Structure 1
């Protein structure tokens, strides 16, 4: 079973949109990533869910509450989140 993944985002963030595109591409290329459930948290609407998490930039990914990536995503960095989640 995959580890819990949280993704902090902001509506309208171009880097977040790119990250979502990369997530979909990676799930298409790697069927084993399909089972990774990513809880998307919009930090302005769901501020209470961001308490206790240390980050400044979005998108930020946490796997089992450990920060794996923060800021401008690349496909390799997003894949590192998936790899950590399925370990």
Structure 2
């Protein structure tokens, strides 16, 4: 199992949705509690952002491998599906 590094911006509605989806997924499947998700506000942690290639937030990575990058207009259901896929990938890694 690997940790997930996630980048967000304060005030971003997609980031809020991703965090809500993460909490919901953990309630639905307690196995997801095993995955450490380290959230970094990108403007406060430029040293952590370095080496990660993305444009939109939230973005989730294992190492520098991008698992998810939000897209403008994404629905909550789409965000939740991507967060779930990231968690599944972390559990398998």
TM over 0.5: yes
Divergent runs of 4+, >4 A: none
- What is the TM-score normalised by the length of structure 2? 0.87
Structure 2 gap segments, 5+ residues each: 72-77
| Structure 1 residue runs without a partner (length 5+) | none
The Cα of 1:75 is off from its aligned counterpart by 1.2
Alignment-derived partner of residue 74 in structure 2: none
Matched, 1:80 2:80: no
Per the alignment, residue 65 of structure 2 pairs with 66
Aligned match of 1:28:
27
User: SS at 2:56's partner residue?
Assistant: coil
TM-score (norm 1): 0.93
